[in-house]
Amino acid sequence: MEAAVLGFTAKWKANPPREVAAYGEHQITLHGSYVDLAFRSGAASVLLLPRGDPEALLNMVDLLVLTGGGDPDPSIYGDKPVAPPGTERERPLWDIRLYRAARKGGKPVLGICLGMQLMAVAEGCGLIGDIATELPGALDHHGKPESPQRHPVSVKPGSVMAGIIGTESEVSSFHHQAIRSVPPGYSACAWSPDGLVEAIESEDGMALGVQWHPERDRTGVPLLEHMLGVAGKGRVS
């Protein structure tokens, strides 16, 4: 049986100004933990480079995976007219194009951290700009790359997510923003102890978003295997 193919979105890292002429404005990269997750799930993987027609790119893959990354420019979701330092615009806009093309074309989507946030933004929702500032008393959802935060999530009984990871799980968390509301066509299906929405699932069963990083915890393989099943691709050992 031919292996399923995951299409990952990339992390964009700005090159120093002195290097732009030689190397372009960005380095396009992907953390190896995503590649390892694909391998553990029995799938092949490709990087969806930010050029060309999103629909044509998606024709090459069985599942779109929107990966984590930096904060999107708030002007994308109508929050602030001027982008705060350190926010990104080009990458979120490209990932949103891929997401919309996937939904239009009936391609399954898994959104991870920033990926889930961009799913909500693409559907017209805003983001909580900083959890600690806007929600005093909330958990520390951020942690550090060398020691990611871990916290429990409660999953809605009877939801698709509960069928994948059960009604309770511990997840690896590395974010300081969150979706402000559940996008239309979706329902919330998991929450952290402070009440933040940690996962959403689409009414048509074709898209899941998780605020945590499943490539760093036990939820990754079950999530990918489920979404590959949605795509009609079984596991290949």
Would 33 be classed as within a structural domain? yes
- pLDDT score recorded for residue 11: 95
Model pLDDT for residues 24-50, shown as the tens digit of each residue = 999 999 999 999 999 999 999 999 999
User: How many structural domains does the chain have?
Assistant: 1
| Within-domain flag for 53 | yes
pLDDT reported for residue 143: 80
Q: Which residues are catalytic?
A: 113, 213, 215
235 confidence band (pLDDT: 50, 70, 90)? low
Tell whether 31 is covered by a domain. Answer: yes
pLDDT at 1: 60
**18 domain residue, yes or no:** yes
Q: Quote the mean pLDDT of the chain.
A: 94
- Residue 12, in any domain of the structure: yes
Confidence class for position 237, pLDDT limits 50, 70, 90: very low
Stretch 111-133: mean pLDDT, rounded?
Answer: 97
Confirm whether 101 is domain-assigned.
yes
116 vs 140, residue with greater confidence? 116
Given a cut of 80, whether residue 148 has pLDDT beyond it is no
> What's the pLDDT tens digit per position in 180-205?
999 999 999 999 999 999 999 999 99
**pLDDT score, position 149:** 85
Q: What is the CATH number of the domain that holds 34?
A: 3.40.50.880
| Structural domain contains residue 236 | no
Q: What is the pLDDT of residues 70-108, one digit of tens each?
A: 999 999 998 877 677 789 999 999 999 999 999 999 999
pLDDT attached to residue 213: 96
pLDDT at 124 over 90: yes
The DSSP annotation for the chain comes to -PPPEEEE--EEEEPPHHHHHHH-SEEEE--HHHHHHHHHTT-EEEE--SSS-HHHHHTT-SEEEE---SPBPGGGGTS-SSPPTT-BSHHHHHHHHHHHHHHHHT--EEEETHHHHHHHHHTT--EES-HHHHSTT-----EETTEEEEEEEEE-TTSHHHHHH-SEEEEEE--S-EESSPPTTEEEEEE-TTS-EEEEEETTSSEEEESS-GGGSTTHHHHHHHHHHHTT-----
What pLDDT is recorded for position 234? 58
235 found inside a domain = no
Domain of 36? 5-230
Q: Quick one: pLDDT at residue 3?
A: 85
